[in-house]
Amino acid sequence: MLLSLPLAAETTENLCQDPTANREWAERLAAHPNDPLLTHLFAFRQNLCWMTDQGLLTVDQAADLFEKERDKAIEKRQRENMQRRSDPVL
């Protein structure tokens, strides 16, 4: 789920305007409304798209920022999963 990259780095394609990418993000959020990491990434993506639309960031800059944030979210989720597995069952 978090491995999906909504903005691909090193490209000029603006996936913010891609109806398929936007639909997939909306579906992910609808399927997992209580997932704080997914909600954060969705909001972060929306803000990056807005900044790109306003000319404040290039698509490549936005993609780079998103990829870094996505990587942090993946690492956090992996730590959470490891912690869950190591917690004793009572």
On whether the CB atoms of residues 62 and 49 are closer than 8 A, the answer is yes
For the entire predicted model, the pTM comes to: 0.77
Mean pLDDT in the chain? 87
Provide the pLDDT for residue 27.
96
- The domain locations on the chain are 16-86
Read off the pLDDT of each residue in 13-31 and give the average, rounded to a whole number: 93
Other Cβ atoms less than 10 A from the Cβ of 25: the count is 19
User: How far, rounded to the nearest angstrom, does the alpha carbon of residue 25 sit from its chain's CA centroid?
Assistant: 9
* pLDDT tens readout for residues 76-86: 999 999 988 88
pLDDT for 1 beyond 50? no
